[in-house]
């Protein structure tokens, strides 16, 4: 199990690093900021999560951290890494489902563009490939 965990953590780290490089290379604002006023309704409403997220976006999220989405890329990198490891198939399916839900949610909630989601899956696939090529043979 440790081998799968090693690859999982390596994939998560690589996805985060690649996304942070993307933030530097392409400082894009997300749709919630760049397309403000173009949505109907103009703002989503919720009880706890939405006001908290809105506060975080206004006070703690620097502009230009939209492309690619590190949390979506990380979710897919983790799901793909688990699918290639010795964890039970049910765990890999749960993680894949969670990654799909996160991907849809960030587009639906206007935090990322659809293109971000496509790029995130490419980043995730790249991280799994990099992790496989950088992992000693006895761990693969």
Q: Hey, which of 24-28, 31-35, 54-58, 131-135 has the most confident mean pLDDT?
A: 24-28
3-state helix, strand, coil in the chain (%, to 5): 70, 0, 30
Residue 64: predicted pLDDT: 63
pLDDT band at 136; cut points 50, 70, 90 = low
d(CA 9, CA 15): 10
Does 109 have pLDDT greater than 90? Answer: no
Pick the residue with more confidence: 50 or 67? 67
Mean pLDDT of 49-73: 78
Residue 76: predicted pLDDT: 94
In the 3-class helix/strand/coil scheme, how is the chain assigned residue by residue?
CHHHHHHHHHHHHHHHHHHHHHHHHCCCCCHHHHCCCCCCCCCCCCCCHHHHHHHHHHHCCCCCCCCCCHHHHHHHHHHHHHHCCCCCHHHHHHHHHHHHHHHHHHHHCCCCCHHHHHHHHHHHHHHHHHHHHHCCHHHC
Which position has the token pair 């639906």? 108
Residue 1: predicted pLDDT: 44
Q: Which two tokens stand for residue 46?
A: 């919720």
Does 32 have pLDDT greater than 80? Answer: no
What pTM, to 2 d.p., does this model score? 0.78
Residue 137: predicted pLDDT: 55
Pick the residue with more confidence: 39 or 106? 106
Residue 2: predicted pLDDT: 44
């Amino acid at each position: 199990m440790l081998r799968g965990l090693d690859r999982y953590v390596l994939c998560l780290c690589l996805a985060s690093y690649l996304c942070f490089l993307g933030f530097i290379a392409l400082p894009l604002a997300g749709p919630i900021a760049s397309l403000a006023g173009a949505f109907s309704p103009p703002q989503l409403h919720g009880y706890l999560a939405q006001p908290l997220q809105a506060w975080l976006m206004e006070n703690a999220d620097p502009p230009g951290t939209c492309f690619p989405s590190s949390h979506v890329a990380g979710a897919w990198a983790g799901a793909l890494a688990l699918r290639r490891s010795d964890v039970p198939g049910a765990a890999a399916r749960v993680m894949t489902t969670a990654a799909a839900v996160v991907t849809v949610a960030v587009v639906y909630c206007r935090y990322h563009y659809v293109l971000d989601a496509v790029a995130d899956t490419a980043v995730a696939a790249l991280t799994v490939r990099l992790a496989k090529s950088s992992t000693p043979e006895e761990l693969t």
